[in-house]
Structure 1
Amino acid sequence: MTSTSSQKVLSPEEIAVRAGEQLTFLHLPEPGVFAARAVRLRQLAAGHAMRDFLLFAAELADAQHRALTSAVAVPLPTAEEVDAAARAGVPLLPAETWPRAAVWRDSLRALLQDLAKHLAEGPARAAASQLAAASDEYLETQAGRLLAGIMLGLDMAAAPLIAAGLQLHWVRLAQQTSAAHVGGPVAPFGRVDDATVCPCCGSRPVASVERLGSDGARYLACALCATQWHYVRIKCTHCQSTKGISLQNLVAADAAAGETQPAIQAECCSECGHYLKLMHPARDNGIEPVADDLATLTLDLLVSEEGQQRHGLNLLLLFGEPDEAPPPGRGH
């Protein structure tokens, strides 16, 4: 007697999901995340139209790195809060609602004072020194608007500096929370119901990256805490559709450089009209998401002219039309 057996044929999406289950889902920020960013920014600044801004951003990243190496403790979530977030399927440290302890303002002021020492005389140095003297109320109001994506009343000149302090704070939160809850009954960070936002802080990604050593698997890189989480390929990072996905790149610039495979592309979705940059470190192993996003503003302009809307978020360079804001220090 012979017998037959049947086997379910998996759909492409199911195959992708199963492949994802074999990968490391989450990569928390490395201790040298800001140092690597500074190095990359200086590399990209050479001959770039945005040279001065990229070099300023490099000094800012250096200041973040120096601050991160200092032993500053931040208030961490309890085991009960970890369990509650896991049960609800939401990020543990949501940027918009997680209580910002006073330590973030103290660290921001120290960072700004340190940054000012490393900048030449000029508007950037004056802005850093002025913001360091701003009132608690002003810093909290601006931080709240920045994290909530509210452009109305946002001080665009101060925003990158405040963002640097918030990034420092959330990197510390992610690193210290992970270390504090090692071996606990529930892992502090894991998959959440909304796959398009950071599982740690709920922020949008700055870009997606094909991580080296992951067989081309795509990860989304958080704009705030620098955590990277796995997200299947050829799937919109805004509406999660698998239809109408196309890749755009700067053909003229790539051709001039003799580049046949561009290291950075815009993954566009015709279903919802949004895009996110896709970065390929295998084609340029110096890639750092925040730095390379800043340096490829021309690609943003190209796809926006075709009607696509940016899904990625870079806290160091915001897009929008802010209302007039009060100068730093108002509220003293």
Structure 2
Amino acid sequence: MAEGATATIKLMSPEEIAARGGGAPVMPLRLPDAATLFAERSLRLRQLAAGHSMRDYLIFMADISAAQHQALAGMPALPMPTAAQIAAARGVGLPPLPASAWPRDPAWQAALHAIIDQLLPRAPAPAHEALRQLRGAESAWLEQQADRLLGGMMLGLDLAAAPLVAAALQVSWTALVLQTARAYEQPEMPAFARIADETLCPCCGSRPTASITRQVGDVAGQRYLHCSLCAAEWHMVRIQCPHCLSGRSLAYQSLQAQDGVAVSLTGVAKDAVQAETCEDCGHYLKIVHSERDPQVEPAADDLASLTLDLLVSETGLTRHGHNLMLLFGDPDADPPEAPEAPEAPRAPPGSP
């Protein structure tokens, strides 16, 4: 840029975004970048871990993300939907690669093994043995865990193994979405389009982890929902609840600190991470603002702001989406011989 020149970036108000909502958004769908997705998530998790009460867990998640980066680079070609299958899904407003119904290729288990192999050399002693047990788990048990995780069934889900199973499924679905998008690049028949349920991913039908505001062209503040499974992002205007699509009673909650410790909620702060709440349906979803912090990453910042979930849930609101790397269920419902891995911590009150 020449000396003295200035660049103008327009930050749209919710009203302006709504006004534009009647037409096509600047970019209706953003697909993940295989070269940067998990690498950037790993870097962000390490950054957020510094001084955090959940430091060890965030570092472990960073290691998993780094292993996902390597596993994604090694994914083979996966069976893709035919043009007829894509057209049929579009005709009824469904995603072409539904997480709970699309046949899983065995390559996802190979990705799990690759991730564990990357983690083993640096894992602490207690986790080392647990990872080895998971590495040797039977294929049928892993498929059962994947069915429960992708189907949203917490009963019988092994909470300790779930983050690693989820990590492999994320690698597999990200690869599948990107391969399918490349195979159907023609404008007249793209692989992915809007589906009937705007609250779900148009690629795989999964719920979002969070939403993120991005700059698109010269316009900042475009809101996208970030898929918890395949990392695709789809556009949704900012004055709509991502659960019920109402815009009548939205509010934004941030953490309020006292003596450096987050102890309560406030609707005043302009933090990079907030909870977008809806009184109409009683749900909320976090929103991360890249214009306030250009390094935010939806999955990483969601994990690091667990206290915000705890405080918002105490008000009676239910989270719309989920983070597959931190789930809650009934680990005792499975036989005791099910393998164990490092357990996701429940952050104590006062976590950042």
TM-score if structure 1 supplies the norm length? 0.90
1:328 Cα deviation after fit: 3.3
Q: What are structure 2's unaligned runs of at least 5 residues? A: 1-14, 263-267, 341-352
**Cross-structure match for 1:101:** 105
1:141 Cα deviation after fit: 0.2
Kept in 1, the 8 Å contact 2:273–2:287? The answer is yes
Q: Which amino acid aligns with 2:325?
A: L
Q: How does 1:239-254 map to 2 (within 5 A)?
A: 239-252=244-257
**Cross-structure match for 2:67:** 63
Name the count of aligned residue pairs: 317
**Cross-structure match for 1:230:** 235
Q: What SS does the corresponding residue of 1:206 show, helix, strand or coil?
A: strand
Higher helix share: 1
Kept in 1, the 8 Å contact 2:223–2:238? The answer is yes
1:218 Cα deviation after fit: 0.6
Q: 2:215 aligns with which of 189, 212, 217?
A: 212
Q: Give the percent of matched residue pairs that are identical in Structure 1 and Structure 2.
A: 50
Kept in 2, the 8 Å contact 1:210–1:218? The answer is yes
Q: Does 1:183 align with 2:192?
A: no
Q: 1:199 aligns with which of 193, 199, 202?
A: 202
Q: Taking structure 1 as reference, are residues 176 and 240 closer, same or farther at Cα in structure 2, changes over 3 Å only? A: same
Q: 1:262 aligns with which of 247, 268, 271?
A: 271
**Cross-structure match for 1:25:** 28
Q: Taking structure 1 as reference, are residues 12 and 322 closer, same or farther at Cα in structure 2, changes over 3 Å only? A: farther
Q: Could you say what the CA RMSD is over the residues aligned between the two structures, in angstroms?
A: 2.2
Distance 2:79 2:327 in 1: 29
Q: Taking structure 1 as reference, are residues 253 and 27 closer, same or farther at Cα in structure 2, changes over 3 Å only? A: farther
1:121 Cα deviation after fit: 3.1
Kept in 2, the 8 Å contact 1:204–1:313? The answer is yes
Moved over 6 A (4+): 11-14, 253-257
Higher strand share: 2
Distance 1:253 1:235 in 2: 32
Q: 1:141 aligns with which of 139, 144, 157?
A: 144
Q: 1:48 aligns with which of 48, 52, 60?
A: 52
Kept in 1, the 8 Å contact 2:222–2:235? The answer is yes
**Cross-structure match for 1:328:** 338
1:122 Cα deviation after fit: 2.2
Q: What are structure 1's unaligned runs of at least 5 residues? A: 1-10
1:256 Cα deviation after fit: 7.7
Q: What SS does the corresponding residue of 2:108 show, helix, strand or coil?
A: helix
**Cross-structure match for 1:308:** 317
TM-score if structure 2 supplies the norm length? 0.85
Q: Does 1:157 align with 2:160?
A: yes
Q: What SS does the corresponding residue of 2:221 show, helix, strand or coil?
A: coil
